[in-house]
Amino acid sequence: MLFVSQIRYHLIVRLRSVRIPVFVAIGALALAGLHWLYVGASVGTGYAARVVCSLVFNSGQHPDSVFRNYVEYEIWPLGPLVSLDVDSDARAVDAATLGLLRARAIYREGLGCTLLAGADEDVLRAVDVPGGIRTSPPIDVPWPHGSAGPESLPPPDVTRALERAFAEPSDAGDAPRRQTTAIAVIHEGRLVAERYAEGYGPTTPMLSWSMAKSVLAALVGIAVADGRLLLEAPAPVMEWREAGDPRAAITLDQLMRMSSGLAFDETYGATNDVSRMLFTRADTGAFAAAMPLAHPPDTVWSYSSGTSNLVARVLRDLFGGDLALLAEFARARLFDSLAMTTAFCEPDASGSFTASSFCFASARDWARFGQLHLQDGLWGGRRILPEGWVSYVTTPTSAAPDGVFGAHWWLNAGDPRQPERRTWPSLPREIYAARGHSGQYVVVVPSRQLVVVRLGLAHDESEKLHGIVPLLETLLDVYRPAKHDADTRP
């Protein structure tokens, strides 16, 4: 009996010794799971407030339609748990998840929407926004200097291509939706075709998502031309100034090319870096600046919205952190110079443009932006972008695979040794594009003098769903290279 008792005692002791770390592990996993749920729900709540605010007050869409047809899909499965309060008088959107997690976004004239993320609303509303009324281009003057539409109907093949681009690929109720909102086609400096979804039109500002990165590149180019920024100099980031910080050597050029080596998780999801940065933080640039160095600069290319917001904060700091001065710079030196009178970039609560994701412009104005690059930065005889800037942003980044990326622009260059290995194998290698989430595109085809804008609220990132490649194939077939050398630039 004593032997049995001793065995029982040792078994109990061993089980207890095993049970304690098991319970600790289970507890740690439970806490990690709860934290993941908390962060994910916080992101979804912030997303709902931020995006509904932007699409309602910037684009004039109905909040119920925006939430049901787009936002609910984007934050699945959180959607049924989120409630919205849209205050048209205060121009604000409050979102709540199960009445516990809350987020608020506010609209300011000339600046669009900002997620508060803990910032003082009264302080933000006290910011003086750019003054003066933006006069729309005259309606009896052809695009791009005026607001007149296409001078004639497009060729039948183009009409059919636009119809296909707007048609949903499936009638199944649970199939991802294409939701094309606008297409504009420019050939030889003329608006030759356009089409809009119900509720959208030629003057509707529409969300850029990551096309904002290419807008940021243009603003950086202007600052470089002014001598206020140097591409090859270390980026002026205050968090990296301590002695021995290896990030202090990162140049602005490496940030522009997304080859800085900074760690950043761009794999879209509920709790990754980009989602937490955009939908839970007041200072998106500070979030990115805190990232450690994961690789030596210029050895690895890694697409990073954090990098763009870090560059945007560098741009903000040129103006002493004064959002009004920054917004006036963007408006006077870029947008209004091109008659992009619907265009603006939304800031975060720190006063930086959220230049990874949140610029707005109408389809015609996005086309003006593409046309500026087609014309090598010239507009109406004036140089808007510095000489050589378009060549800079469209030169492949050496660390990027298959020639896919320049400096905040997407390319179709391919691997020099295997040019067929490129993003769009059926399309010319010369193509470059500003691209964004949910199917935003400004595509430039220099040899055809062609700019194509496709905007939408697609339910996934599939280019097949967006329909951009067959649309471009048709347009390239219809609009052949010009048979004359005349300068057709606006």
| Helix H or strand E segment including 454 | strand 450-456
Report the pLDDT averaged over residues 199-227.
98
What is the identity of the amino acid at 452? V
pLDDT at 489 exceeding the cut of 80: no
Report the pLDDT averaged over residues 117-125.
98
d(CA 33, CA 283) in angstroms, rounded, equals: 26
Report the pLDDT averaged over residues 416-442.
95
| Cα-to-chain-centroid distance, residue 157 | 31
Instruction: Please tell me the predicted confidence (pLDDT) of residue 56.
Output: 98
Could you tell me which of 131, 121, 308, 129 has the C-alpha nearest to residue 208? 308
pLDDT at 490 exceeding the cut of 80: no
Q: How many CB atoms lie within 10 A of CB 303?
A: 16
pLDDT grade for 487, boundaries at 50, 70 and 90: very low
Instruction: Please tell me the predicted confidence (pLDDT) of residue 35.
Output: 64
Are residues 183 and 195 in contact, defined by beta-carbon separation less than 8 angstroms?
yes
Least confident of 129-143, 399-413, 464-478: 129-143
Q: Report percent pLDDT > 70 for the chain.
A: 90
pTM beyond cutoff 0.85: yes
pLDDT at 20 exceeding the cut of 80: no
Q: Tens of pLDDT along 359-374?
A: 999 999 999 999 999 9
The chain-wide mean pLDDT, for the chain, equals 92
Q: How many CB atoms lie within 10 A of CB 86?
A: 20
| Cα-to-chain-centroid distance, residue 63 | 21
pLDDT grade for 152, boundaries at 50, 70 and 90: very high
Region for residue 371 given its phi and psi (left: phi exceeds 0; alpha: psi -120 to 50; beta: otherwise) = alpha
- Between 273-280 and 2-57, two packed helices, what is the crossing angle to 10 degrees? 60
pLDDT at 488 exceeding the cut of 50: no
d(CA 296, CA 309) in angstroms, rounded, equals: 21
Instruction: Please tell me the predicted confidence (pLDDT) of residue 18.
Output: 56
φ/ψ of residue 439, rounded to 5: 90, 45
Residue whose entry in the numeric block shows the structure tokens 């183009």: 158
pLDDT at 172 exceeding the cut of 90: no
Q: Tens of pLDDT along 276-333?
A: 999 999 999 999 999 999 999 999 999 999 999 999 999 999 999 999 999 999 999 9
Instruction: Please tell me the predicted confidence (pLDDT) of residue 77.
Output: 94
d(CA 439, CA 443) in angstroms, rounded, equals: 12
C-alpha distances (whole Å) from 54 to each of 47, 219, 321, 331, 365 are: 11, 22, 23, 19, 18
d(CA 317, CA 305) in angstroms, rounded, equals: 19
Report the pLDDT averaged over residues 426-450.
98
